[in-house]
Amino acid sequence: MPKPILVLNAGSSSIKFGLFDTADTWAGHLFAGEVADIGDKPHLTVKDMDSKIILDRSWPLPRKQEDILQDILGWTDERAGTDGLAAIGHRIVHGGSQFIAPVRLDQETIDQLSRLTPMAPLHQEACLVPVRALLSLRPNLMQIGCFDTAFHSALKPPVSRFALPRSYEESGIRRYGFHGLSYEFIAGRLKEISPALAGKRTVVAHLGSGASLCAMRNGRSLDTTMGFTPLDGLMMGTRCGTIDPGILLYLLRERGMSAEDLEQLLYHKSGLLGVSGISSEMRALLSSSDRRAAEAVELFAFEVAKAICTMALTLEGLDCLVFTGGIGEHAAKVRAMVCNRLHWMGLELDPQANNVDADVISLDSSSVETRVIRTSEETSIARQVVPFVLSEKRTNSI
C-alpha cells in the first residue's frame, strides 16, 4: 500500500487535517478530522469519507498544540502502518511575493515565512507552529508548504495596486489575496463539472468566519477582495473588512488607542461580533430574535452583494456565482439575502433548491447560474504535495 499524505490546516484555535492516498497523481481523500477549541476544551473528531465518525475524543482542559500534534500523529501512525507517512502538507496563509508555488519546508524557509507574520498576524504563526514542532518530532519526514496567496500571484495592475507612492509597491505592498487553496479547489470542481462552466465569468464567494470573493475565469484569479492582509474586503466573523483609513487615524489620535489596541479591535472585536454584540457565528445570529443580530446579518449580506458587483466589473459581466465556505454552503437565508439584492442583474433564485442546499440554486431562466459547492482546502494541499512524493520516490529508486 502506498504511503499516505497527512495534510494539516492549522488555525489559532483549531487544526483541521486529512489523510490522503497517493496511489496516483490525483490524491484520494481517506479521512477528515478536526481538533476544535484547542485553547479551551479540545475536541478531536475523525470521519471517514462517508461522514461516519470513527474517533471522537475530548479533553477537559486546554492542550498545547504540540501535544495535539502527537495525538494526530499517533492516530495516523495506526492508519499508515509500518511504512509511515509519505509527507505532511501544510496550509501557509501568506507566501508574500517570493512563495508562489508549494515548497519544501526547512528551517531557513520557516524563518523566511515567519518574517511575513506582520502581514497576517492572526494566521501566519499559527500555521508555522506545527511545522516547527514536526521538524523536531519527525525530522526526516518531508514537509511541504502550500500557500493561500499563490492562486492570486498572477494578479496585475490595476487590480493588484494600491494608490500609494510607487516606492511602497516596489517594497512589496500590493494586493496578495487569500483563500487561494479554496479557490483552487473550486476552480478544479468547475472544470470537472463542465469545461464550458469553467470558462464562464465566475465569482466565487468563500463565506465563513473568514470571508472573501474571487473573480475567476478558466481557473485563473482575476480579482479578489482581500488585499495586503486577510483583514481587507468583506466583514467577517470578528474582522471589520474594508474600512475608511481616516477612522483608524481618528482612533489613534483622538481616542488614544495604541497600535496593539487597534489590532485587537480590527481582528478580534469587529465584524459580525462587533455589529451584533452577540456572536461571531452566523448560525447563532440567524437563530437569534435580537434586532442587532438581524442588523449584523443584513450588513454582511449587503457587503457580499456589493463586492460581487465589484468582481463583476473586473470580469465585465457575470455568468456564474458560486457559494462556498461554512456560511456559503449552509446558510440558505444568507444566500437568499445576497441573491435578492442581485435580482436586477438577472439573477433568479430557486427558493426550494436554495433551502435544501442544492448544487444549483438558480432558476433555469436566470442569467446567472448560481451554485453551492463544498470546498476542501485540504484536498488542494494534498494534490500539491503528490508531485513532491512522486519525485522523491523516483529519486530513491535510481
Nearest alpha-carbon partner for 195 in 222, 218, 215: 218
Confirm if 233 and 241 have CB atoms less than 8 A apart. yes
Confirm if 124 and 44 have CB atoms less than 8 A apart. no
> What is the C-alpha radius of gyration for the chain, rounded to an integer number of angstroms?
21
What are the CB-based long-range contacts (under 8 Å, 24+) for 288-296? 296/272
What are 266's three cell numbers? 480590527
Instruction: DSSP letter for 251, please.
Output: H
Catalytic (active site) residue 244: no
A 10 A CB-CB count for 119 gives: 19
Q: Is the dihedral of CA 367, 373, 378, 381 positive or negative?
A: negative
Mapped onto helix, strand or coil, the DSSP state of residue 304 is helix
Start-to-end CA distance of the chain, whole Å, equals 21
Confirm if 33 and 18 have CB atoms less than 8 A apart. yes
A 10 A CB-CB count for 198 gives: 19
Nearest alpha-carbon partner for 340 in 294, 297, 301: 301
The per-residue b/e assignment along 19-40, b for 16 or more CB within 10 angstroms, e otherwise, is: bbbbeeeebebebbbbbbebee
- What is the spatial distance between Cα 376 and Cα 369, in angstroms, rounded to a whole number? 22
Neighbouring-strand partners of residue 213? 205
Q: Which of 37, 56, 77, 148 is catalytic?
A: 148
Q: Lay out the sheet containing 220-224: strands in order across.
A: 220-224, 211-217, 202-207, 320-324, 369-372
A 10 A CB-CB count for 229 gives: 20
The per-residue b/e assignment along 312-337, b for 16 or more CB within 10 angstroms, e otherwise, is: bebbeebbbbbbbbbbbbbbbebbbb
Give the catalytic positions in this structure.
Answer: 148
